[in-house]
Amino acid sequence: MSQDLFLRSTHALLINDDGKILFERKKDDIRPIASVTKLMSAMVILDGKQALDELVEITKADRDLLQLTGSRLKFGARLKRAELLKIMLMSSENRAALALGRNYNGGLPAMVKAMNRKARALGMRHSHFSDPAGLSPENTSTASDLAIMVKAARHYSLITEASHTRSTEVFPWKKKGALTYRNTNRLLKRKDWHISVSKTGFITEAGRCLVMQANINQQALTIVLLNSYGKLSPFGDSNRIRKWLAK
């Protein structure tokens, strides 16, 4: 492990497709992962083979009662399951995640069980999920486990499409205009970043988090950055990694 890479993230992992670790910091420490959880939620929902064109309605049951975050998806809004998945991944829309969990086969408890079962099947031995949005600090993992999750997520076309889509419009109401959702990964604005899978996350207990798979210097690399200080720090760390690799 090289020591000449300065990162603001307290936990980090940089690994190539052959499994070679290029940099690591506290890669096996367990900590909250916030909305990075939504990658696992998306995989489990897609594994469930529910109709992606089925309309799902937002209700009061989809309120965030843990972190008290807001949402532009008001009660009564209706979107296709595929649309909710996309804005959940792109913009970390919490009500989308909770509505998808509530409408999962068997309901929210069944989905959480499926998330933990999927984690075990992938070999994520130090991960635990308690809700599909990542609002609870009880959604925990390690940088090593999250690298496994990111590599698994790239095999889902809807996840990869959402990961590199900068913005999208949805129409939750028949007689109203569109809602525009933008990707929370600011690196997509730069032409020198080629990203196939990514997810950001934040709650106070987790700090700023970013996981992604990107092609840098013609090699596929998985980057995990956890508990970074400052809203822009994970993106700064990502650019520092690029410059470090260029050396």
Q: Give the residue numbers marked as catalytic.
A: 35, 38, 92
Tokens of 186: 């600011």
* Coil vs helix vs strand at 232: coil
> Which residue is it, tokens 């959604």?
139
52 exposed, middle or buried (CB, 10 Å; 0-12, 13-18, 19+)? middle
User: d(Cα 25, Cα 28) in Å, to the nearest integer?
Assistant: 9
User: Which amino acid is residue 103, in one-letter code?
Assistant: N
Quick one: residue 39, left, alpha or beta (phi over 0 = left, psi -120 to 50 = alpha)?
alpha
Cα distance between residue 142 and residue 20, in whole Å: 17
Q: Report residue 165 as tokens.
A: 């889509």
- Of the candidates 175, 161, 227, 189, the residue with the CA atom closest to the CA atom of residue 25: 227
Q: How far apart are CA 234 and CA 192, in angstroms?
A: 17
Q: Where are the alpha helices (DSSP H) in the chain?
A: 37-47, 81-91, 94-102, 107-122, 143-153, 157-163, 233-246
User: Which residues, 6 or more positions from 19, have their beta carbon under 8 angstroms from its beta carbon?
Assistant: none
